[in-house]
Structure formats: structure tokens, C-alpha cells
């Protein structure tokens, strides 16, 4: 079933009886060429690009819950390519280009909205840092405009510019940044992978990884053992646990990150805005809810909900930046499990076990990476060679110390990235 304007018209006129499920619900086969563990954004996009770009279709994605039930359906949906350091900047630039053609490619409306992202700065030092970042973005071929205070005011008149403690000096504007509907991204990739023959197996938890003579031979699951020549671990916040099944200890800590949404309001915030002096960022969903978040809860955890001190911190930062937000009623909050690396940058690499590959460490920025990550990981799994846009994401940088990409400049403490 292809989506098109004509199809919607036809279904509308004939009682909407012709829609079919987005994907099949197959039982696992005894053997696949490739198994992808994890049916989040990265696992699904990996399977899709393996099929689309490499003609490999004897693939299963094994998901312990349901498709889209992990972080891919829990994030605040920001998509951007405003990274500073070599290694990161070419990768996120590659990913943003894939976003820009994604809806046509998947034949699915992921509601990608390039409404522009503005990072505010509040001191001369911050202005210098953002000017450097903007230059790096332009050198990479992406867009960046350094706005002064009046420039920001023209876009975001509702902010508190005169705040005595954190006056707004200006902002770095990234017009191609924006948001996308997170669930739709998972559903779109799932549907497109299924259409190319990939088996999406839900309620199938991987409980063990079989290795013989240093080579992966398959996995054990709650639905039986499945053999495979190649296995990719793409389980975000559970990366440390699943890698341990193959005897690996990863440089990953899992931390909880919270987000919040208000009741639906009339359109008021038509960009993505981030506060430069406290960890707070906000956008407005198409349904009208203000979607916002802040920093990690500052301890390692596998809980998918957070605690009150960070709620208080986020609300305070929001009130500082835009006092009007105090009138909005918060509808709900939730948490997701972040796979934090010591330098805040991800890992896409082979492991010491032949046929076993690793994709993790996306911290709290992996939604925007979904197309690029799947594309580069599929390339690695299919060809055993690193994709040109992901050469910096090597696992051994944490062993040797060479090639670390500490975008935040906060050192090796996981929860500070
Ligand atoms: C509150 C919040 C806000 C965020 N905001 C943004 C943002 O604005 N922009 C951005 O770019 N990023 C954001 N992120 C980060 C982003 O959501 C994640 O980095 C990204 O979704 C992680 O990759 P994924 O989609 O593959 O993860 P997931 O969706 O978590 O997928 C991993 C899957 O693996 C499955 N799994 C785990 N263990 C097993 C097992 N043993 N067997 C089988 N399956 C298993 C899980 O059930 C899960 O479905 C945010 C995250 C949170 C929580």
C-alpha cells in the first residue's frame, strides 16, 4: 500500500476500508543473514538501509517490547546539524541531508519541520564560542547565522530580554534545524523496511549472544534461538547490558533524561529555542503542546522516569527565559534511558568478536542521528568498512585516548555531557 493524495481521496470516499497494517507480524525464522537487536530508530533505520542500499533482505529486527516504545518515541524531536568538532560535524550534516529527503524516500509523512533552531547566548564569551561554532557549521556546508539581540527579538519577541541575571546578548540561528514527529519516524522506517522484506519481531528479547571460536553465530531470545552470520547491537540505554552478553564492558553509563509537555495552546513558539545559561530547550508540537526538557538526572539509572529536583530546575530555567510559560499547565512528564559515553559522542564500530557490530553512545542527541546512524551502520555491517561520515566513531578511542570528540568540553564524566 502506497500513500498518496489520490489514495486518501479514494479511501475517504469509500469508507476507509482499504488501509492495511503498516507491517507484518512474522514469527522468527531459525536463521537470518543479519540480526539487528533493538527496534528503536537506529535499529529500524539500519535494517532499512541494509535492504535499500545493499540488497540484503534476509534480516530480522528483534525488539523486546513494541516498535517505537523506547527512546525513539520518548524524545523531544529536535533535528539539527550544529556540531562543532570534526568527526561529529560531517556525520550530523550527512544525517540532516537524509532527513531532508526522508518523507519521499519512506513514502511516509514524518512531519519533518525545518522551523529553525536558535541557541541563545548571554555573555561575550558565549558569543565568541557560538561564532566559532557557526563558522564550523558553514565550513561543513551547513547554515548558521549569528544574530544580535535585535535579531533574536525579531524572531522571539516573547523572551525576557532584560533578565537581570541572564540578559540575552544574541543567538546562533540554524534555519535548517527543526523537529520531526518521533513516532512517525519509527513507524515510517518500520513500514519501509518491512516492505523490503525485513522481519520485524516484537516481544522478542535477546537474552544471550552465541559466539564460537571468536565469531558470532546467533542469539538466544525469549522466542527461541536464532542463528545469524552477523549481529548488530543497537539498544541505546541497554547497550551495556546487551554487550555484556558477548563478554564486553562498554565505556557507557545509562542515565535518565526527562521531558515535559503542556496542554495544547494556540501557536506561540514557532522555532526550537535553547537557553544558553541553564539546560532548557523548548518547541511547540503541531498539536499545540509546549515540549521542553533540560539536563540529565545526575546519577546512573535504568528507570524510565525521573525525579523532582530536575523537574524544579527545568521549570525555573523556563520561567527565567520566558515568564509567560508559567501560565501553561504541564500535562505530563516522562523519562528515557540515555547511553552516555565519556566524550558525549557515539560509537559505530566493529567489535573484537567477528560478525558482531556495535551502534550506541548517542547520549541525549540520537533522534536527529537516526537516518545517518542507520545509513552508516548498514554500510559497516554490509561491507565491513567504515562509512566516510562516521570514521570518528571508533570504539578504541576510549582505550587509546586518541580521537576523542568532547563537544561540550566537560571531560570524561558521563553525566556532564
Ligand atoms: C526525554 C528525551 C529527550 C530527547 N530529546 C532528543 C532530541 O530532541 N533530539 C535528539 O536528537 N535526541 C533526543 N533524545 C535522544 C534520542 O531519543 C536517543 O538518542 C535515541 O532515540 C536512541 O536510539 P534509538 O531510537 O535506537 O533508541 P530506542 O528507541 O530506545 O531503541 C532501542 C530499543 O532496543 C530495545 N532493546 C533493549 N534491550 C533489548 C534486548 N535485550 N532485546 C531486544 N531489544 C532490546 C528497546 O526495547 C528499544 O526499543 C532524547 C531522549 C529522551 C529520553
Query: Ligand 1 in contact with 251 (CB < 6 A)?
Result: no
Q: How far is the CA of 338 from the centre of ligand 1 (A)?
A: 7
Q: Which residue minimizes the CA distance to atom 18 of ligand 1? A: 366
Query: Ligand 1 in contact with 75 (CB < 6 A)?
Result: yes
Query: Ligand 1 in contact with 365 (CB < 6 A)?
Result: yes
Query: Ligand 1 in contact with 341 (CB < 6 A)?
Result: no
Q: How far is the CA of 237 from the centre of ligand 1 (A)?
A: 7
Q: Which atom of ligand 1 is nearest to the CA of 66?
A: 49
Q: pLDDT, tens digit, for every residue of 308-351?
A: 999 999 999 999 999 999 999 999 999 999 999 999 999 999 99
Q: Which atom of ligand 1 is nearest to the CA of 256?
A: 53
By DSSP bridging, strand 356-360 and strand 224-233 are parallel
Torsion, CA 373, CA 379, CA 384, CA 385, rounded to 10: -80
**Helix axes of 370-383 and 41-54: crossing angle, nearest 10 degrees:** 50
Torsion, CA 165, CA 168, CA 173, CA 175, rounded to 10: 100
Identify which of 98, 335, 336 to mutate to test ligand 1's pocket (most ligand atoms within 8 A of the CB).
336
Identify which of 71, 252, 359 to mutate to test ligand 1's pocket (most ligand atoms within 8 A of the CB).
71
Give the distance, in angstroms, between the CA of residue 313 and the centroid of all CA atoms in the same chain.
Answer: 23
pTM for the whole structure: 0.97
Question: What are the cell numbers at 309?
Answer: 529536583
Q: How far is the CA of 71 from the centre of ligand 1 (A)?
A: 3
Query: Ligand 1 in contact with 291 (CB < 6 A)?
Result: no
- List the chain pLDDT tens, one digit each, 417 residues: 899 999 999 999 999 999 999 999 999 999 999 999 999 999 999 999 999 999 999 999 999 999 999 999 999 999 999 999 999 999 999 999 999 999 999 999 999 999 999 999 999 999 999 999 999 999 999 999 999 999 999 999 999 998 888 999 999 999 999 999 999 999 999 999 999 999 999 999 999 999 999 999 999 999 999 999 999 999 999 999 999 999 999 999 999 999 999 999 999 999 999 998 888 999 999 999 999 999 999 899 999 888 999 999 999 999 999 999 999 999 999 999 999 999 999 999 999 999 999 999 999 999 999 999 999 999 999 999 999 999 999 999 999 999 999 998 899 999 888
Q: How far is the CA of 157 from the centre of ligand 1 (A)?
A: 34
Q: Which atom of ligand 1 is nearest to the CA of 368?
A: 11
Query: Ligand 1 in contact with 183 (CB < 6 A)?
Result: no
Query: Ligand 1 in contact with 205 (CB < 6 A)?
Result: yes
Q: Which residue minimizes the CA distance to atom 41 of ligand 1? A: 206
Instruction: Give 401's contacts (C-beta < 8 A, 6+ positions apart).
Output: none
In angstroms, the CA 64 to CA 79 distance is 26
**Domains of the chain, earliest start first:** 5-78+182-251+343-416 (3.50.50.60), 113-176+253-340 (3.30.9.10)
Q: pLDDT, tens digit, for every residue of 27-46?
A: 999 999 999 999 999 999 99
Query: Ligand 1 in contact with 346 (CB < 6 A)?
Result: no
Residues 201 and 193 sit within 8 Å (Cβ to Cβ): no
Q: Which atom of ligand 1 is nearest to the CA of 362?
A: 19
Q: Which residue minimizes the CA distance to atom 37 of ligand 1? A: 235
Q: How far is the CA of 341 from the centre of ligand 1 (A)?
A: 15
Query: Ligand 1 in contact with 367 (CB < 6 A)?
Result: yes
Distances (CA, A) of 243 to 8, 248, 379, 415: 44, 5, 21, 20
Amino acid at each position: 500500500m502506497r500513500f498518496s493524495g489520490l489514495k486518501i481521496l479514494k479511501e475517504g470516499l469509500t469508507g476507509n476500508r482499504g488501509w492495511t497494517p503498516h507491517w507484518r507480524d512474522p514469527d522468527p525464522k531459525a536463521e537470518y543473514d543479519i540480526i539487528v537487536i533493538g527496534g528503536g530508530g537506529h535499529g529500524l533505520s539500519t535494517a532499512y538501509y541494509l535492504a535499500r542500499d545493499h540488497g540484503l533482505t534476509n534480516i530480522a529486527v528483534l525488539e523486546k517490547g513494541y516498535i517505537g516504545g523506547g527512546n525513539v518515541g520518548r524524545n523531544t524531536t529536535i533535528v539539527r546539524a550544529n556540531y562543532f568538532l570534526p568527526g561529529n560535524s560531517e556525520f550530523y550534516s550527512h544525517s540532516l541531508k537524509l532527513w531532508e529527503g526522508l518523507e519521499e524516500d519512506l513514502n511516509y509523512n514524518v512531519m519533518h519541520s525545518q522551523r529553525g533552531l536558535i541557541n541563545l547566548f548571554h555573555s561575550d564569551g558565549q558569543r565568541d564560542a557560538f561564532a566559532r561554532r557557526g563558522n564550523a557549521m558553514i565550513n561543513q556546508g551547513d547554515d548558521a547565522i549569528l544574530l544580535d539581540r535585535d535579531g533574536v527579538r525579531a524572531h522571539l519577541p516573547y523572551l525576557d530580554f532584560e533578565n537581570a541575571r541572564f540578559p540575552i546578548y544574541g543567538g546562533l540561528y540554524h534555519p535548517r534545524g527543526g523537529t520531526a514527529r518521533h513516532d512517525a519516524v519509527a513507524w515510517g522506517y518500520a513500514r519501509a523496511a518491512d516492505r523490503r522484506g525485513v522481519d520485524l519481531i516484537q516481544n522478542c528479547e535477546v537474552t544471550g549472544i552465541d559466539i564460537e571460536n571468536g565469531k558470532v553465530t546467533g542469539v538466544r531470545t525469549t522466542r527461541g534461538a536464532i542463528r545469524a552470520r552477523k549481529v548488530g547491537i543497537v539498544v541505546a540505554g541497554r547497550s551495556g547490558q546487551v554487550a555484556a552478553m558477548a563478554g564486553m564492558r562498554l565505556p557507557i553509563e545509562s542515565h535518565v533524561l526527562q521531558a515535559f509537555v503542556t496542554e495544547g495552546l494556540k501557536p506561540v513558539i514557532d522555532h526550537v529555542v535553547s537557553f544558553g545559561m541553564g539546560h532548557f530547550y523548548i518547541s511547540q508540537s503541531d498539536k499545540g503542546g509546549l515540549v521542553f526538557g533540560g539536563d540529565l538526572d545526575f546519577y546512573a539509572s535504568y528507570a524510565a522516569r525521573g525525579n523532582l529536583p530536575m523537574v524544579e530546575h527545568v521549570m525555573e530555567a523556563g520561567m527565567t527565559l520566558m515568564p509567560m510559560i508559567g501560565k501553561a499547565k504541564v500535562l505530563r512528564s516522562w523519562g528515557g534511558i540515555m547511553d552516555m559515553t565519556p566524550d558525549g559522542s557515539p560509537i559505530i564500530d566493529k567489535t573484537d568478536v567477528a560478525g558482531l557490530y556495535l551502534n550506541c553512545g548517542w547520549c541525549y542527541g540520537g533522534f536527529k542521528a537516526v537516518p545517518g546512524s542507520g545509513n552508516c551502520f548498514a554500510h559497516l555491517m554490509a561491507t565491513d568498512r567504515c562509512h566516510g561520515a562516521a570514521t570518528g566513531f571508533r570504539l578504541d578511542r576510549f582505550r587509546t585516548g586518541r580521537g576523542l570528540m568532547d563537544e561540550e568540553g566537560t571531560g570524561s564524566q558521563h553525566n556532564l555531557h
